Structures are given as structure tokens and as C-alpha cells.
Chain A
Amino acid sequence: MRLSFEQRRWIWAYTFLALPLLFFLIIRIAPTLYAFNVSLHDWDPLALERPFVGAKNFQRIWTDKVFWQALKNTWLYVFATVPLSLVLSLALAMGLQRLTRFVGLYRLLYFVPYITSLVAVSWVWRWLYASNGVFNELLRNIGLGPQKFLLSPDQALLSIVAMTIWQGLGFQIIIFLAGLEGIPEIYYEAAKLDGASEWQRFRHITLPLLNPTIVFLTIVGVISSLQVFTQIRNMSSQGQGGPLNSTISLVLYVYRLAFDSLPSKMGYASAITVILFAMILVITIIQLKVLTRRYEY
């Protein structure tokens, strides 16, 4: 039987699509569904028996103070990181766009932290934050007293947020630059002719046309903030999210329960990931609806 050109094209397309699809099914989706199953059991990977406990793991969450602390911290990470880094990176991107010389160099400089291993960055910043580190040296030189930074329950979380913003800035700048490039110059020229001020042009041309970019960065930013882990693991003493659980995030708590504790509390950890999953799902849907519609025209 001879296949038409069109038919052969379809066969090839689906063959190529099938591989990644299979990959996602096996590597991503199946374990996700499996985690739902695990959350309903008293699950220790090493034990011979894993009794079904129904909703017990979920009930336990209500009385677990560390969980609520981690939930609160996680939202603090989101609200401290996302808005500030969006504003900063948009400002920097607009600045960069106006440059005529060394544009490539500046882009590179801002992007370097992003491609550097987060672990390495975390340790360097841990040194900068040390009681006799560079930051305290600077503070002393300008006459301000030394700060405790990572060692203070009040400052530790913000110290990690500052590092996170700095580290992620490069990525957001690049995306914003792409968005800015996509806005036709002709709009600005027309607005100028009509006598629109710089602020008006920004407010009525740049911002609305950047909407999809902002939506994208917000969603990605919120998701990655909700999953914050590596920085805290590396910047808190013994990777436990201290001092006194002041920096612990949901994912770090999940990790501690599943992999640090002995015996492993995999079932309870999975129950928390299910909660986190639901949270991220709902928030992403809301953001897509709310943020995207506002500036549609």
C-alpha cells in the first residue's frame, strides 16, 4: 500500500511526538499520580509493609506547626520576590534597551548569575553574609552596625530573598528585552506626534503590550518561588531551614520529611506535595484568567 505524502507526514509527526509524550508520561505524569497514592499510605520506602491510612496524613497537617510556618514562609518568598524582581528587571531592561554601546556586555553581566549554579551562588552569598563577611564590613565602614543576616530569625528570609532576586534578574531581563523588542517603534512615534509624555507612552503602550510577557514572568516567578528549595538548603545551618524554622519552605520541609528523617515519612511528605500541587494549580489558573484579561485589546 502506498501512503500519500500527507499521510506519511502525519505518521512522521506523530512518531516524533510520541517519544517526548512517552517520556512525559513515564517520567513526569506517572510519578505525579503515584505521589497521590503514596500520600494515602504510611509510606517508608525501606519497610516491607506500607499500610493504607486514608486521609490520616492530611489530617496531620492541621496540627503540624512546622507545616504552617513553612506555608507562611513560602508565601513570604513569593510576595517578596516576584513583584520586586519584576519591577527591577523591567527597569533594567528598559535601561539596557536604550544603550547603544556594549549592549552585549551588559546583557552578559546580568545573565551570568542566572547561569551560575545556584548552589555555588548560595555558598558565596553565605560568605558575604557571614558575621565577619563583606556585607558587614561595608556596613561598618559606612558607620552602620553589623547585621546578623542569615543568623537572625527576622532577617534570614529576607536575606535569602535578596540573593534570589539578584540571581534571577538576568533571566527576567532577557525575557523583558525580547518583549520590548517586539513592540513596534511606530506606536511610539505616533504617540510622540500626538504629544504623549514619556510616562504616558510607558503607561499606555509599553505596559499593555508587555502584558503577555508580564503574565509569563509572573506565573513562572510565582511557581519557582513556591518551589524555593536550593538556596535555603544551602544557606541555612545544616540545610534545615533555620534559624528556628524562620526560612523553611514547603519544599524543603517535604525534603526533610522524605529524605532527612529516619525512618522516612514519605507518605506525609507526599500529602504536603499534593497540597502544594493543588495550590500551584489554582494560582496558575487564577493568574492566567485575571492577569491576561486586564489589558486585552
Chain B
Amino acid sequence: MSEQHSHQFSRRTLLRRSAIGVASLAVLPLLAACGGTEATTAPTVAAGGGSSTSPAGSTAPSTAPASAAPSTAASTAPAASASVASSPAASGSPAAGSSSGSESFTSALQVKGDVEIEYWQYQFDSKVELVNQLIPEFQKANPKIKVKHVNFPYDDFRQKFAAAIQAGEGPDVINVYYGWLPAYVQQKVLVPLPEDAFKAADIESAFFPMVKTAAFSGKYYALPTAVRTLALFYNQDLLTAANKKVPTTWDEFVDVAKATTKKTGDKMEIEGCTYDPGGQGHQWWRECLNRQNGLLPMSDDHKKLAWSDPKGVEAFTWYMDLIKKHKVCENGFDTDGATAFQKGHAALHIDGSFRISTYTKNAPDLKYGIAPLPMRTAKASYASYWCNAITRKAKDDKVIAAAKFIDYLASADVMRQWTPKVGELPARAALTKEEAFTKDPKLAAFIEQMPNAYATFFVDETADRKAVMDAMDSVLLNDADPKVAVQEAQQKVQQLLDDYWASVK
């Protein structure tokens, strides 16, 4: 008995001690996580990855916003950015040969000695593979330059970069989402592309106007290889069965969605259109529906939002009516819109060009087509892009090598390989005139919209998206007044903008 007892006692002590041990162990990593090192609780969902079907990268910043104008600082902004916002068509008709992009920005620059630069991009298989093939090509043309290619998962990418650059290490050239540029430029993490080589006027005549979001105070900080726009995905079989044509206007969109919606009792079987605020829904309203309704959602100098304008509220209400009034979609159906469409459970769906590769791989039998977004009084789509920039780590020869590498990645040759392999669209306007692109039935609609595609100016893309999602949630779940919901969202995002512009001065 006594033996039993002592056994019991020691076990109790052990348990108690281990409880204390576990307690402190459990607390510490948490603090460590926030102490500037790394998160122990690695989040596994991509920041923007609203969909289980998409690889981290594709939804994340891929879907991010797009505004017409660059975040040029106040001084130079008006002229340059205004032109983008109001006349995107300018670059839609690029000169034939001259701006086809075959000529290089950096041919006059030479490195003095052998130099190795480090290039970082997030882990997105098709991009990583292609860049691995491109680097030997680049090194052959530039024998003195070696490029080291490093990848991290999307979720860790920004944190790794922050930690490395803080320690004076990491990349000389980094692939960043355009929506991160304002913060990175303000924090002096990036340095401008050499100005004498990359002249703003040359860039703007060769590239689509959305690249202006990469210019600050008139200086370009980054160049993209490819861009993405939003378009309307439609399920051919469902449209045929309902005897409907592809909608081109808001009214037709509602009409087709109503005709294709199928329910058994109150149970949704087929959605007329998807409802996906966290996926593309917020972009669709912010940059597309507002502009299509004749509203410029943000002032050209990127300082003032106009969402709560009656036209903005009207566009917002139109979007919310799809689910609240017409009931052609359902929140959380198949967890998200991209998946519902993939499974053939939705007739209409708004998404980006990066989704094509997902569907090709996951749903080879899905019969679908892609058309420009339905419009109202004006055409508009949303554009976004990843781009390559030089970090503050690069010095002297490395800046030149970095510039040459960025120039190479933004060359027409690379773009011609990029589009078929990655599914993003060429950033140089002239290229989209080439048959390989215009004849591609899947890409044509995306390309057609490029002249009217706007990259939203984001200070903090995640917070901006959340503000819009919250507005949509509060109308859907709490029956809030759309006008009040939009006003609240505008207030939150305006605060972000105000803080940003205050810190830039």
C-alpha cells in the first residue's frame, strides 16, 4: 500500500511539474513569434488564398487591387497619374515595332567586374521553373553576372525578406506584389531603378498603364514581366441549357444568373453566379463596378476615396442584390466561388487569368469560356502584377547587375515564354497584338480589357480588402444599410491612406 502511495505521489509531482513546464513552454514560443523572429504558428493559408483550389500565390496578391495611377508623390503626381486614370486607352494602341519591347533599357550599363546577385521570388512552381531556365540564358548574355535564385513559400515571403534585409542580407533583386511597393518605397527598402537607363517616358510608352503604380515621385522602382486582369468565366453547358448568351451588361448578367440558378426547395444546386467577396468580389466592386457605373473610386493623386458617392453605393447595392434580392448565389457555397465554378456548380464567375491553369489541371473536362466583364456606362477591369525591384542591399556593381536582370525579365522574349507557361499576360502593350495572344480563346478576353484595366493603389492590401469584406458581411449578415456599410469601409481605408500620406511627408 505504501509503495502504491509513494508511486502515486511521485506521479502527481511529475504531472504538476510538467504542467508548469508545458505552461511556460507554451507561452514562450508565442512571444518569440512576435519578437521579430518567426511565427511558430505558421499560418498556412495564403494571405489572399481564399480558395482551396488555388496555390498560394495565385490568389494572394495575384488578386490584389489595381489602381490606375502610380503613387507618385504629391509633387509630380497630377500630370502623370491623371492621364492614367482617365485615359487608359492610350497604351492600348502601342506603336508597332518601336515599343515592341525588344530593345533593352540597360544596354549602356556595364558591370566593372564579376558580380553575383541574389534574386528572390515566392514559391510558385511554374514561375520558379521558368526563371531557372531563364537564368542561364541571362548569364550567357552577361558572362560577368551570376544570379542566385532563392524561393520561399508565399506565407513566409515577406517575413523572410524583412528579417534578411534588416540584417543586411537577402536579395539584391526581389519579386514583389505591386501593392507592397508604397510601403517598401516609403521604408526605403527598395531603391529606384537607375534613372538614366529606365526613363519614365520609355517605360510608359512600352508598358500598359497600370505599371504607373510602380512609380513614386516620378521614379520607377520596379518592372513587371506579366500582369493579370479580371474577366467573366462562364460555364458553357449551363448557359446553353438555359438558352442564354454570354452577358455583356449588368442587366444581362442578372438575367443570365437568374435563368441558370437551380434550386431544390431552398437548397441551392447551381449558382447563377458566384458570391466571393474575399476572393475577387471586393476587387470587382472597388475597381470594376464603381468605374463601370461612372465613378472614379479614388482620386488621381491617391489621396481621397469616393466610394460613398451615390454611384458607388448603387454599384455596391447591385452586387449585394445578387445574393440578397435575386438570390442567384449563396455565401459559402462550395466554400468559395472558384471551387464552385470548377465543380460546374456555378454558371458565372469573376476571376483572373491565373485561374486558367488551375482549371486546366483540376477540371480538364469543364467546358467554359471567358468574356470581358459585363459593363454599364463604361468598361473597366481590375489589374494587378508582380514586379521585380532592386533592394537597398545592392550596391555599386550589384545595382547595375540587378538592373540588367530586371530589364531582361521584362523583355519581350521572356514575356513570350512567360504567358504560355505561367498564364499571366504580357506587360508590354505591343506584345498583346501578336497572334499567339489574340487568337488564344482563353486569354483574348483578358487581353482585350487591358487598356481599361486599373491597378488599385493599396497602402495595406489586406486591411483594405477586410474593410470591403466587412461592409459586405454587415449588409448580408446584419442587414446593415448599404450606404452606411460603404461609408464605414471608406472611413477605414481613408484612414490608412491619410496615415500613409502623412508619413510620406
Taking beta carbons and an 8 Å cutoff, which residues of A are in contact with B?
Answer: 27-29, 31-32, 34-35, 38, 43-48, 119, 123, 126-127, 129-132, 140, 145-146, 148-153, 182, 184, 186, 209, 211-213, 215-216, 219-220, 223-224, 227, 229-230, 233-234, 237-240, 242-245, 251, 254-256, 258-264, 266, 269-270, 273-274, 276-277, 280-281, 284, 288, 292
Contacts and interface: CB of A to CB of B under 8 A. Distances in A.
Give the most central of B1, B32, B330, B474: most A CB within 10 Å.
B32
Nearest to B464: A262
B43 interface: yes
Given A182-B8, A239-B43, A244-B478, A266 B26 contact: no
Contact of A264 (B48, B162, B345): B162
A35 B41 contact: no
30 contacts: A28-B25, A28-B32, A32-B31, A35-B31, A45-B162, A126-B52, A126-B335, A130-B332, A131-B268, A132-B267, A132-B330, A132-B333, A140-B267, A151-B331, A182-B8, A182-B11, A216-B16, A216-B18, A227-B30, A233-B45, A239-B47, A243-B473, A243-B477, A244-B473, A244-B474, A259-B39, A262-B462, A274-B31, A277-B31, A284-B23
B50 interface: yes
Of the listed residues B44, B180, B186, the one surrounded by the most CB atoms of chain A closer than 10 A to its CB is: B44
Q: Which of A126, A186, A259, A292 has the most CB of B within 10 A?
A: A259
Contact of B32 (A32, A274, A284): A32
Given A32-B27, A227-B26, 4 more contacts: A27-B32, A45-B36, A219-B19, A244-B474
B326 to A, nearest CB: 17
A179 to B, nearest CB: 8
Given A239-B47, A242-B469, A46 B187 contact: yes
Interface extent on B, as a size class? 35 or more
A219 B25 CA distance: 12
Contact of A238 (B19, B278, B335): B278
A-B residue pairs, 10 tightest by C-beta: A31-B32, A35-B35, A31-B35, A212-B12, A28-B28, A32-B31, A212-B15, A45-B162, A237-B278, A119-B44
B490 to A, nearest CB: 17
Nearest to B27: A280
Interface of chain B: mostly helix, strand, loop or mixed: helix
A274 B41 CA distance: 17
A127 B335 contact: yes
Nearest to B269: A132
Q: Which of B11, B23, B268 has the most A CB atoms < 10 Å from its CB?
A: B23
